[in-house]
Structures are given as structure tokens and as C-alpha cells.
Structure 1
């Protein structure tokens, strides 16, 4: 049976920096971008060689809000990539040029090793492997074949039961012990990949999170081999196992005796099953079992740029936010303010349906009520923290001033869309900072300000969409009256709906946007 490493999966918080490191610095190819199998709103990036060969794949789950993990017992701790020994000097110089901290070269099991850290702190070793010949090293404009990363060399697993861990992997996945030194047992597969089992007895336990390696996937020749191993594991009662069809491979998951998660994945059908080799990694795959619109998922996932592509960096502004850039922009912008319990991604699909060619700017509320984000706190169902409203409205006005400058947004071609608490925030900002918001759609909005500022909202356009059976709908009329009294042009449409929003809201908002700003 073919034994070796199929892929290694880790967790990143810094998506653009991750792409810049693995594609820009290391020269790997982005061979696949997918939504996560467990969470459609989780971006999953897969890097590899020029043809996405099994044994070359390093993958990352994106946890933008994830807490940093802790490397420890029951977890892989290092990724090792093969280069030719003569390329050590090239990579030493390249790391210094890219200002990437490194140690080495040092010798490990007779091989020269450079030790780096990726932007999340994961240790990546470049190992000079004698006579290595990768299946299809990815060549870039500044990395030739002789210097390129050839394939995965191996990984290190921390275990307080190193003998049991080694025996488990050798017995079930075709590895064999080839060396021991300095508390490490080295296992090798048939294709030359290695797993270093480090005796970490007395070390602290691991904690999942960003900057850690989630699992190592070992190679299975076919589905029959996966099913045979699954049957053997079940007979030995080793613990829970899970089998999944991941479209690009079929696999099972099991934890080895030391606690590390091991996947056993087939070589086929491979990464080119749904994309031609020439454009590999350019399309987003959304697993069908989510039964959701791929366009909605695409709008919620974070965007990034490959090296050489035009990019607009996200600025450090007063609110955590997401800026979604369309492929064919029309110069307009939709600013989206979520409701209670939402976040900066919640309304992005709504915004994309409303205006497919508009830039979408979506901030996250900074106040918390019962542990969930809001734009300001409430005291009871119908009373609100006035000091919090005033402070957050001031901060939001400053945010928009900075965002307009940083991202080149035109206030005259910007439509603010808010739902529930977000709509109420827009209504408050219009009254407290007239001129910041010129065009707005308020979904299930109401007045929350106790004061009545003397303001002039001439030239301000507002569409209110109120649910006929919304328990808060009766309170929308006060906001409508206030805005009209200040000179705003206000349309309040009553929908056959409750507090939730749906397709009718999107269609009416779309028509309004096209009518007032194009």
C-alpha cells in the first residue's frame, strides 16, 4: 500500500498574510479555495505544487475571530517541507530579504534545516532532502525549479505516549521506524515522508485555535483501503472514527493514542475534479450539504489577493468591519449595519443581492447585550442607553469619515442599510450627525433617541420597510415623523411580514437604490 502524508491542515487568523507567506514567499500554488465542510462561513485554502499532488498539500482553515491556540500534547507542532540541499542558501537569503525571522541552518537527522514561523506563529521547516524530486514543483517568476519547495517532508507530533503513537501509526497506516534521536522517533512512509514523534511527557496540553496545526492526513490508495482501515479500527475499539466524502478525496478521522487527530485520505479523485489545471484555485467550492446559495456564502467569506493582484488593504478603523469588493464595481457603496446578535458578515448576502456591483462595507457593533454584538445597549425592550447611543454615534460618524478617505468612498453614492438595532443606529446618527448619512434603507427601524435635536435633513432620502405583524412596528412612525419634520424625504412601506426580513425587503431596497443613486 502507498503510505505517506496526503496533506497537513492548520488554522489561520491572518488570511491575507497567510496567502502572502505560502504563495508569495514559499512559492506554493493556491490550488483550491472552498467553504468549510463543517461551517459554510469558514474559508478553507489549500496550497500545493503545480498540479496539486497528494503529498504536497498544506491547507488552512480561516478563523478570523478565533482565539490563539496553544501548541502542546496531543497535537502536531511543526510542518516540514522538502527542498534540495543546494537551495538552503537561496532560502536563507530570501528569508532575510522578506524580513522573515529564522533560525539555522542546523542539522536534524543528518539533513540541513531552516526553521521559520508563518504569520500565525506556526513553525515551518525547510529541509534539505538529498536526491529529492517533487512531482511538480511550482515555479514562479523568482523561484526556479531547483530552488522550489518539492513536497511535504514531514511533520512533528507531540505525544506523552510516543511508543503507542508510533505503533498506532505504523500498524494502521504503513509507516515504519527508521531512526531515533534526542527523544524523537522518526517514522517513514513508502514515498519517503516522515513523521517525527517527539516525547513531550510533562509538557502542557494543547488548546485548539489559530496558529496551531489541526491534523495530519495520511495517504490512502483508494476507498477500499480507507474502509479496510475503518473496519480494523472499529474491531480494535480504538475510539470514535468518522468517515466523510470530501469531494476531492474520501477519508476517515481517528485520534492516535497520544491525542493527535489523524486523517486517512484517498489520493483521488483529486483537486482537478471540478476545475481545469490551468485555472486551479480560482473558483470557490461550496459543499452541497449546506443547501445554501453559493453567492450568499461567497459574500460572507473574507476576500484576499494573490501576489501581483490589485489589493485594497483593510484599514485599522474604530469598528471591526468587512469590506467586500465586487469584481465589476459601479462606484456605489452599501454600508450594512446588522441587528442584535449579528456581526459584520450577517448582511453581506443581502447587500450583494441588493447591489451586486457595489462595494459592501459592514461594521460590527461594539456594544454587547447578553453577550451578543449591538450598536448600542438597551435597558428594557423599549428603552435604550442614551449615553451609549451618543458615544457610539460619535464613533460611527468618525468611522465613516475615515472609511470614506481610506477606501475612496463617495458619500453621495453610498446607501446605508440597517436592520433592527442597525436601522435604529442609522436613525440616531442621522439625527445626531446630519450629513453623514444621505441615503438610507431602514429595515424594521424605530426611534431610540429621547432628545429631539434641531437639525436640517434636506436632501436626505430614507426608505423605511416596516413589518405589518412586527411587534415593534408601531414605533416606526415616530422615527418617520422626526425625519420628515427635519426635511428628509421619507417613504414608509408596510410589508406583510414580521420582524424578520426576506426577499421582498431586498427587492424594494434594490429598486430604491437604483432610483436614488443608480
Structure 2
């Protein structure tokens, strides 16, 4: 049995900040960008050396704007990267100049260690390791080869059963005990990778979320080795074991006795199976087994820029939101408000079909109704929380004002598109704050605001699209009456459909946008 670390996977909340840290600060190469193998709407980035060989790979699952996790028992808690011992001073200076939180240097098991925190708070240790050559050298900008990150040094596991955890890793993955100090058992693999097992008895349990490490993956020679290990683990009764073909490697997942998720991954086929070395990490890979439309996936995934590339930084505004700017943006914009149960990504593929050359800004409703995001609460099927409508309309107007400035949106060339609850929010906002929304598409909308408003909507253009068999369809007449009565130019189209939206809605919305946005 050979042994070593294949990769370490963690979870990030903001992918741009993550890229800036691991590529821009640490100097790793982005070797792969994929949609998640379990969820096509989850971006998965893989960093490493020049060709992405096992032992250099750090991977991140993007839970954009997700809740922070909690580091605790049954979880890996630190990532250790190897550098030359004489480079500690360089990295300390670099961290200070990049305003990155540091602790140390300090000695651990006779090695100098500088602790950093990435933007999510995950601890990254830079460990001065003597006599190590770079596993897969990559010429990072601003970092001399002598100071570069060399490889993964190891990881730390918090365990309430440190003896059992150590025995499990030794028995199944070839890591042997080499030292004990200060409540930490150190294990080493054949390639001198290390696993530190900290006795965390009495510590709180971990909780998954951003800023936590999801799993550690150990190296297997090939798929056959993974399958043999799976058979041994099953015979031992090691618990649930899942095997998967991840395209770039074949792997299994199992939890060690202390609860930490462990992956066992084959070295091949490797990161170069679908991209040559010179363009590695430049295109998005969408796993075929998900049967997802790649165009829809691209629209839903968060965008980011590598260091040196032109970028648009997402701003902290009153609503959690997602911005998608196409390469051929024409200066128009489409602002999207989802329906009940949706979120800031739900309407992005729809919006990309309606306006492929427009900047898309998609919001997440701030209200929570029976566990679902909404823009305001529903009291009955056709009555709504009036106070919340008023307050959320004010927040939406503040968002629009700030988004116009932050993203350079032209109000005259911006269309607002809402579906169901999102459409109702737009209809109410136009009545409460006339002139802020000049062009709107209301899909399956109805009037939600009870008190009539004396407003002037002259110059406002509205497309309403109602489903012929939509149970809420009969309620659309009131919002049409109010908007047109206030002077808006309202077009109401009826489709042979229910409450769901589809391609006919796309066609109508596209034609409307082409007409009102010059």
C-alpha cells in the first residue's frame, strides 16, 4: 500500500475572495473549474501546481452566501502547506502587506510554522520543511521559485477518539504513527505527508458550512486499489461507503471512527484528461451524468476573475444577490425577482435566454415563509403582510439605487422581471415608489397591495403574462387596472399555461425587452 494525501476539500462563501487568496496570494494555479458532481448549481474549483498532480490539490465547494460552519470534533480543521524553512520571513512579510491575519512563526514538531486565515476563516499553515523539492512547480507572479508553496504538507483532524482515528488511518490508508506532543498524534505517509490528530475530547461537535474543511482525500494507485479498499472497509463494517467516478479520479467516501469524512482517490486519469497543460483551468466542466444544460449551469454559477483579469466586484447591498455579466454585455440590464421557494440563482437561466447580452442582477427575497425565501409574507392564498410589503419595497428601492451606482446600470435600459411573488413585489413597488422601475415584466402576477395609491406612472412600460389555467390568474386584473389607471403602458398577454413559466414566456419577455430597451 502506498500512502499520501491526494487533495483536501473545503467550503467557501465568496468565490472571488477565495480565488484572490489561493491564486493571488498563495500563488497556486487554478487547474480545474467544474460544476459540482452532486449538484450542478455548485461551483467547484481545484487549485494545485502546474499540472494538478495529486499531493498539490486544494479544492473548494462554493456555497455562495451560505451560512458559516463550526469547526469541531469529527472534522479536519487545518490545512498545512510545505515551503522552504528560509521562506518563512518572505511569507510573514507578504501576509502583512496583504492584510492577512497571521499567528507565529512557532515551532511544531521541530518545524517553523506560520498560521494564516483564508477569507472564510479556514486555517492554512505554512510549514518550513527541509529538503523538499516542488512536487509540481508553477511560476506564480510575484513569488520567487525558492519561496513558492511546494506541496500539501498535511492536515489536522479534531477527534474525540484519537486512538481509534489513528488506528483506522494506519490500517486502511498506510499512515504510520511517528510522534506525539501536546495532545497531538502525528502520522506520516510514504511521501512524508502528515496527519495530525488532535485529542478534542469535550470539544463541541463540528457543523458543516462555509469556512470548514469538508474532507481529506488520500491517494490510491488506481481504481482497482479503491475498490479493494472498499471491499475491506465493507467487510470490517466501517459504515456507509460510497464510490464515485469523478472523471479525474475514482474514489470512495467513508467516515473514520471520530466522524471525519475521508475520501480515497485514484491518482488517474488526472487533471489533463480533458484539457492540455497550457489551458488548464480555463473552461467549465459540467459532469455529463447530471444531464444539465451547460448554458443554464453557467448562468447560475457565480462568476469570478483571476488576478490581473478585468473584474466586477459584487457589492454588499440590502439584498443577497447574484450578478452575471456576459462577455458581450451591451449595457442593458435585467433585474430578476424569484417566486416562492426560489432564490437568487433560480431565474438566471431564464434571464440569460431573455437577454443574452444583458447584465443580470438576481435577488433573494429577505422574508421567510414556511421555510421558503419570499419578498413578503403571505397570510392566506390571496392576502399578504401589508407592513412587510411597504418595508421591503423601501429596501428594494434602496437596493436599486445602490446597484445602479455599484454596477453602472442605466435605469432607462434596465428591465425588472418578477415571477409570482417577485412579480407581486414589483407591482407593489411601482405603486409605492413611482418612477424607480421604468420597465417591468410581471409573470403570473397579482395585486398584493391593498390600499390604492394616488401615483403617476406615465412613461412606465409593463408586460403582464398570465396563465390561462393559473388559479391566481383571475386576480391579475386588479394589478393591471391599477397600473394602467396610473398612466402606465400595460400589455397583458395570456398563455395556454398554468402558474409555471416556460419558453413562451421567454419569447414574450425577450420581445418586450427588445422594444423598450434601445
- TM range, normalised to the smaller chain? over 0.9
- 8 Å contact 1:158–1:199 — kept in the other structure? yes
- 8 Å contact 1:464–1:491 — kept in the other structure? yes
Q: Could you tell me which residue of structure 2 aligns to residue 382 of structure 1?
A: 382
- 8 Å contact 1:137–1:151 — kept in the other structure? no
Question: What is the CA-CA distance between 1:65 and the residue it aligns to?
Answer: 3.8
Q: Could you tell me which residue of structure 2 aligns to residue 111 of structure 1?
A: 111
CA deviation map 1:381-407 (0-9, x unaligned)? 122222222222222122211211221
1:36 equivalent to 2:51? Answer: no
Q: Could you tell me which residue of structure 1 aligns to residue 197 of structure 2?
A: 197
Q: Could you tell me which residue of structure 2 aligns to residue 129 of structure 1?
A: 129
Aligned equivalents of 2:355, 2:442: Cα separation in 1: 16
Q: Could you tell me which residue of structure 2 aligns to residue 236 of structure 1?
A: 236
Question: What is the CA-CA distance between 1:330 and the residue it aligns to?
Answer: 0.6
Q: Could you tell me which residue of structure 2 aligns to residue 392 of structure 1?
A: 392
Question: What is the CA-CA distance between 1:458 and the residue it aligns to?
Answer: 2.1
CA deviation map 1:234-288 (0-9, x unaligned)? 1111211110001110000111122111110001111121122212112112222
- 8 Å contact 2:78–2:123 — kept in the other structure? yes
Question: What is the CA-CA distance between 1:2 and the residue it aligns to?
Answer: 2.9
Aligned equivalents of 1:496, 1:66: Cα separation in 2: 38
Q: Could you tell me which residue of structure 2 aligns to residue 351 of structure 1?
A: 351
Question: What is the CA-CA distance between 1:321 and the residue it aligns to?
Answer: 1.5
CA deviation map 1:149-188 (0-9, x unaligned)? 0100111112222222222111111222222222222221
Could you say what secondary structure the match of 2:379 adopts?
strand
- 8 Å contact 1:366–1:374 — kept in the other structure? yes
1:471 equivalent to 2:475? Answer: no
Aligned equivalents of 2:24, 2:371: Cα separation in 1: 39
Q: Could you tell me which residue of structure 1 aligns to residue 365 of structure 2?
A: 365
Aligned equivalents of 1:197, 1:384: Cα separation in 2: 54
Q: Could you tell me which residue of structure 2 aligns to residue 85 of structure 1?
A: 85
Q: CA-atom RMSD, angstroms?
A: 1.5
Q: Could you tell me which residue of structure 2 aligns to residue 328 of structure 1?
A: 328
Higher mean alpha-carbon deviation, 102-111 vs 201-210, is at 201-210
Question: What is the CA-CA distance between 1:29 and the residue it aligns to?
Answer: 0.9
Question: What is the CA-CA distance between 1:433 and the residue it aligns to?
Answer: 1.6
Scaled by the length of structure 1, the TM-score of the pair is: 0.97
Aligned equivalents of 2:507, 2:15: Cα separation in 1: 33
1:431 equivalent to 2:431? Answer: yes
- 8 Å contact 2:14–2:65 — kept in the other structure? no
Question: What is the CA-CA distance between 1:15 and the residue it aligns to?
Answer: 2.0
Aligned equivalents of 1:420, 1:71: Cα separation in 2: 39
Could you say what secondary structure the match of 1:73 adopts?
coil
Could you say what secondary structure the match of 1:490 adopts?
strand
CA distance change for structure 1 residues 102 and 465 in 2, over 3 Å: closer, same or farther?
Answer: same
- 8 Å contact 2:220–2:267 — kept in the other structure? yes
Q: Which consecutive residues of structure 1, in runs of 5 or more, have no partner in the other structure?
A: none
- 8 Å contact 1:82–1:152 — kept in the other structure? yes
- 8 Å contact 2:27–2:141 — kept in the other structure? no
Aligned equivalents of 2:234, 2:18: Cα separation in 1: 38
Q: Could you tell me which residue of structure 2 aligns to residue 295 of structure 1?
A: 295
Aligned equivalents of 1:140, 1:178: Cα separation in 2: 34
Could you say what secondary structure the match of 2:216 adopts?
strand
Could you say what secondary structure the match of 2:146 adopts?
coil
Could you say what secondary structure the match of 2:71 adopts?
coil
Aligned equivalents of 1:382, 1:67: Cα separation in 2: 32
Aligned equivalents of 2:181, 2:379: Cα separation in 1: 64
Q: Could you tell me which residue of structure 1 aligns to residue 164 of structure 2?
A: 164
Aligned equivalents of 1:237, 1:500: Cα separation in 2: 47
Aligned equivalents of 2:252, 2:266: Cα separation in 1: 10
Q: Could you tell me which residue of structure 2 aligns to residue 94 of structure 1?
A: 94
Structure 1 runs (4+) deviating above 4 angstroms are none
Question: What is the CA-CA distance between 1:66 and the residue it aligns to?
Answer: 2.9
Question: What is the CA-CA distance between 1:371 and the residue it aligns to?
Answer: 2.5
Higher mean alpha-carbon deviation, 183-192 vs 45-54, is at 183-192
Aligned equivalents of 2:368, 2:112: Cα separation in 1: 52
Higher mean alpha-carbon deviation, 433-442 vs 455-464, is at 455-464
After TM superposition, the structure 1 = structure 2 runs for residues 246-285 of structure 1, keeping only pairs within 5 Å, are: 246-285=246-285
- 8 Å contact 1:138–1:149 — kept in the other structure? no
Question: What is the CA-CA distance between 1:135 and the residue it aligns to?
Answer: 2.4
Q: Could you tell me which residue of structure 1 aligns to residue 143 of structure 2?
A: 143
Aligned equivalents of 2:185, 2:379: Cα separation in 1: 60
Q: Could you tell me which residue of structure 2 aligns to residue 442 of structure 1?
A: 442
- 8 Å contact 1:339–1:421 — kept in the other structure? yes
- 8 Å contact 2:160–2:201 — kept in the other structure? yes
Question: What is the CA-CA distance between 1:136 and the residue it aligns to?
Answer: 1.9
Aligned equivalents of 1:385, 1:201: Cα separation in 2: 48
CA distance change for structure 1 residues 200 and 376 in 2, over 3 Å: closer, same or farther?
Answer: closer
Q: Could you tell me which residue of structure 2 aligns to residue 209 of structure 1?
A: 209
Q: Could you tell me which residue of structure 2 aligns to residue 19 of structure 1?
A: 19
Question: What is the CA-CA distance between 1:463 and the residue it aligns to?
Answer: 1.2
1:451 equivalent to 2:451? Answer: yes
Q: Which consecutive residues of structure 2, in runs of 5 or more, have no partner in the other structure?
A: none
Aligned equivalents of 2:301, 2:141: Cα separation in 1: 29
Higher mean alpha-carbon deviation, 10-19 vs 243-252, is at 10-19
- 8 Å contact 2:56–2:136 — kept in the other structure? no
Aligned equivalents of 1:66, 1:366: Cα separation in 2: 14
